[in-house]
Amino acid sequence: MTPGGTPGAPGVVVVTGVGRYLGAHVAARLAADPRIERVIGVDPPEPGAEFTDLLDRVERIRVDAGSLGGLLADLEVDAVVHLALVSAPDQQHGGRSAMKEQNVIGTMQLLAACQRAPRLRKLVVRSSTAAYGASFRDPAVFTEETEPREVPRGGFARDILDIEAYVRGFRRRRPDVTATVLRFAPFIGSTADTTLTRYFSQPVVPTVFGRDPRLQFLHFDDALEVLHRSIVEDHPGTYNVAGPGVLSLSQAIRRAGRVAVPVLEPGLSGAAALARNLGFGRYGLDQVDLFVHGRVVDTSRLEREYGFTPRSTAAAFDDFIRAHHGGVVVSRDQLAAAERLVLDGIRQVRAAVRERS
Amino acid sequence: MSGPEERRDRRYDVPLTVADPGAARANGHRPAPDEPDTAATDEPVLPATAATADRPGPDEPAADKSRAADADRSGRDEPAADESAGPTAGGRTGGGQGGGDGRDGGAGQGPAVPDRPGDHWDRKVAKGLAFLRRRLAGDYEVDEFGFDPELTSAVFHPLLRVLYRDWFRTEVTGIENVPTDGAGLVVGNHSGTVALDALILSAALHDQHPAHRYLRLLGADLVFRMPVVSELARKSGGTVACNPDAERLLGNGELVGVFPEGFKGIGKLYSERYKLQRFGRGGFVSAALRTGTPIVPVAIVGGEEIYPMLADIKPLARLLKLPYFPVTPTFPWLGPLGMVPLPSKWLIEFCPPIPTAHLTDSADDPLVVFNLADQVRETIQQTLHKLLERRPDPFGP
């Protein structure tokens, strides 16, 4: 036990991926917790200066994932939070191969380093509900025990399956370490900038014809809360983290005041592939699969073990809408006004007909 | 068709599109006995002519006369009647009525239509517009299976109601065997080339049951593979037939409907009609056992005649990746017209529930599961024979 660290809360925490939105916020939040002595942010060597103001209390080390090994032992690290995952290929930074390099190889190297860190007690790994894959025979609601029926075709989902497999191996080799795997639903919130928030910010939103998937979102602040609790409390195991309740895609688009444009599914897959090849747009087959099958998870284990219920999917989405009301095409007031107009029109016509007769 | 039945059904006529005022007027004079106050305010505009004389009052059970004729007549009479009626006639009859039920007030007397608070059609139009606005704004709830109760009761059930009530003249017995609250597993025979019987069963159950319960159907994964169809299935309360979903629904206290014969049932030839097929592995029984849910067998007669399947073109079915390719007297010969179901007479009987709460521990015991599945199968088969005796002519009244 490190001096200054209260029971349960670790003294030295390493956070990977602090150059990204989620990592930076988690590191800042852990640094603000007086129970935690040191927060060290690990980053790949490329510059990512956008979150420096958040990270003033976080020590930052720019290092390759490959040379982490000695570092974790030297720093006497108690806990590692692994958030350095890329959910969509970025053409400016190497595309799909760089994404796989960071997701899969990066996780392998981190876990190898963790295995050799003698003081390590806790490992928290970010995963995704994409781990359940997408199939027509899937049950409507996934519990943590549900196995994917077929290997997903999206790159991110395949990476997630690999990462979880490595964590299972790590658990076997280091049973003394509390390993927590958090399967997050897509993040949404007033400030978060993800593939999905960009998707819903467009005035005209492409959807898959004849499909109205059930979606769940997780408010970004609740994701921070769960990650924080995972570090300062002990919660071994795998947890679904999502806002309770469901929005269907069409419903979400209508609530956001956007217009849905249904596209035939083969066309959309082709368009996604084409957009990827041409280097614009970040929609992959992961998104197409999500918009065909939808994904709903059971969060009762999280609520039971953490004693925490994230705000509902609808509430999280409302928060997002309030922050992104700029691109609204059809607003609620316009609909109400149209309703009044039509009703008044009908009443007037009826009155006129009645008077004339 | 009896009066009370018709009265209950009227309530669901939510206008989705705004009818032109003329048609609205014509329809507005169809008796609407479930809304006595509006009927009362509608009365004043009616002159005391033959049109009123032969129109039944709000609570008279004489509503069973031909609706088509009624609507037709009011459509023809209306303009003339209004010409003679005018404000004075309205005021006169309105006053008389107002004394009668005390609900009429000044609304019927004033000629100003725009704010007639009790106007029956005005309210219907307003309700329809509010529904449209809610749908367009996304102000509705779906559950985790994608079930949309508002859409189901406002759109799907009214459409199915026409089919099951007027086209198939369905008679339902034993509705008291369906639990009023809590979980229940309704197990039926499958028939009819297209799984129309499941939809008819859910609509009939919802209408006839005192608690108006929704039947959550479990469908084959083929249904959920098809675009559009899959979403209609989910929005109307269906989900994929798998044990996790069945147990989750039953655990939530829902009424779940299954057809264990699956494609073997709907894809059988007409010569095999009303012969129950194999019940598979009895997955539905283990779902009921694990949750301690009573099983309610239901026999459905009438489904076999809607699309009598004379042959099954297997190579074509394989080519189209379908479980069978039906040939009926009308399909595919008449093209889209062949999709119109033949108007057979339907009888649905719910059998007494089979309790399973005492067998919760034997959910994995194949012997218990198969015995219970056989018991359910026998019950349905015998009830089918009984119902067939009651219905000598498949296309009778």
**pLDDT tens for residues A182-211?**
999 999 988 877 878 888 888 888 888 889
Q: Is A253 on the interface with B (CB under 8 A)?
A: yes
> Residues A134, A152: contact at Cβ < 8 Å?
yes
What pLDDT is recorded for position B1?
Answer: 41
Q: Is B310 on the interface with A (CB under 8 A)?
A: no
Q: Is B322 on the interface with A (CB under 8 A)?
A: no
Do the strands B239-240 and B215-219 form a parallel or antiparallel pair, or are they unpaired?
Answer: parallel
> Residues B350, B178: contact at Cβ < 8 Å?
yes
Q: Is B136 on the interface with A (CB under 8 A)?
A: yes
Query: Would you tell me which residues 203-242 of chain A have a C-beta closer than 8 angstroms to some C-beta of chain B?
Result: 208-212, 214
Answer whether residue A93 shows pLDDT above 90.
Answer: no
What pLDDT is recorded for position B94?
Answer: 36
Structure tokens at A220: 């970004």
The more confident residue out of A23 and B31 is A23
Answer whether residue A273 shows pLDDT above 80.
Answer: no
Distance (Å, whole) CA B333 – CA A47? 70
Distance (Å, whole) CA B301 – CA B307? 13
Say which residue the tokens 């809408």 belong to: A321
From the list A139, A253, A335, which residue is nearest B244 (CB)?
A: A139
Condensed to tens digits (0 to 9), the pLDDT of residues A129-166 reads 999 988 888 999 999 999 888 888 888 999 999 999 99
Q: Is A119 on the interface with B (CB under 8 A)?
A: no
> Please, what CATH class does the domain formed by B149-306+341-390 belong to?
alpha beta
Structure tokens at B260: 């264990």
Classify residue A297 by its DSSP letter: B
Q: Is A251 on the interface with B (CB under 8 A)?
A: yes
The reply to whether residue B142 touches residue A248, judged by beta carbons under 8 angstroms, is: yes
Nearest chain B Cα to A333, which residue?
Answer: B137
Q: Where in chain B is the domain with CATH 3.40.1130.10?
A: 149-306+341-390
From the list B114, B122, B242, which residue is nearest A139 (CB)?
A: B242
The reply to whether residue A141 touches residue B244, judged by beta carbons under 8 angstroms, is: yes
Condensed to tens digits (0 to 9), the pLDDT of residues A26-69 reads 999 999 999 999 999 887 766 555 677 777 788 888 777 667 77
Q: How far is B300 from chain A (nearest CA, A)?
A: 28
Average pLDDT of the residues of chain A: 86
Do the strands A214-215 and A247-248 form a parallel or antiparallel pair, or are they unpaired?
Answer: antiparallel
Size of chain B, expressed as the number of residues it contains = 397
Measured over all CA atoms, what is the biggest interatomic distance in chain A, rounded to whole angstroms? 95
- How many beta-carbon pairs under 8 angstroms link A with B? 121
User: Contacts of residue B133 in chain A, CB cutoff 8 Å?
Assistant: 335-336, 338-339
What pLDDT is recorded for position B97?
Answer: 38
**Single-letter code of the amino acid located at A67:** S
Q: Is B216 on the interface with A (CB under 8 A)?
A: no
List b or e across B268-299, with b for residues whose CB sees 16 or more CB atoms inside 10 angstroms. bbbeebbebbebeebbbbbbbbbbbbbbbbbb
Q: Is B111 on the interface with A (CB under 8 A)?
A: yes
Q: How far is B107 from chain A (nearest CA, A)?
A: 14
Question: A1: pLDDT confidence band, cut at 50, 70 and 90?
Answer: very low
Nearest chain B Cα to A329, which residue?
Answer: B137
From the list A339, A347, A353, which residue is nearest B133 (CB)?
A: A339
Q: Is B137 on the interface with A (CB under 8 A)?
A: yes
User: Contacts of residue A250 in chain B, CB cutoff 8 Å?
Assistant: 138
What pLDDT is recorded for position A356?
Answer: 87
Say which residue the tokens 């602040």 belong to: A221
What pLDDT is recorded for position A127?
Answer: 95
* 3-class SS of residue A243: coil
Query: Would you tell me which residues 314-343 of chain A have a C-beta closer than 8 angstroms to some C-beta of chain B?
Result: 330, 332, 335-336, 338-339, 342-343
What pLDDT is recorded for position B180?
Answer: 94
Question: A4: pLDDT confidence band, cut at 50, 70 and 90?
Answer: very low
The reply to whether residue A253 touches residue B22, judged by beta carbons under 8 angstroms, is: no
Residues forming beta bridges with residue A127, ordered by sequence position: A183
Q: Is B27 on the interface with A (CB under 8 A)?
A: no
Q: Is B263 on the interface with A (CB under 8 A)?
A: no
**Residue ranges with strand state E in chain A:** 12-16, 38-43, 59-62, 79-82, 122-128, 178-184, 187-188, 204-208, 214-215, 218-219, 237-241, 247-248, 259-263
Query: Would you tell me which residues 176-195 of chain B have a C-beta closer than 8 angstroms to some C-beta of chain A?
Result: none
User: Contacts of residue B229 in chain A, CB cutoff 8 Å?
Assistant: 210
The reply to whether residue A347 touches residue B145, judged by beta carbons under 8 angstroms, is: no
Q: How many CB atoms lie within 10 A of CB B91?
A: 15
Answer whether residue A281 shows pLDDT above 80.
Answer: no
The more confident residue out of B169 and A101 is B169
Per-residue pLDDT of chain B (397 residues; tens, 9 = 90+): 444 444 444 444 444 444 444 443 333 344 434 444 433 344 343 343 333 334 444 444 444 444 434 444 443 444 433 433 334 333 333 333 333 333 333 334 444 444 555 678 888 888 899 999 999 999 999 999 999 999 999 999 999 999 999 999 999 999 999 999 999 999 999 998 888 999 999 999 999 999 999 999 999 989 998 889 999 999 999 999 999 999 999 999 999 999 999 989 998 999 999 999 988 888 899 999 999 999 999 999 999 999 999 999 999 999 988 899 999 888 888 888 888 899 999 999 999 999 999 998 888 899 999 999 999 999 999 999 999 999 989 998 8
Distance (Å, whole) CA B258 – CA B248? 14
What pLDDT is recorded for position A49?
Answer: 58
Tell me whether 0.90 is exceeded by the ipTM: no
What pLDDT is recorded for position A66?
Answer: 67
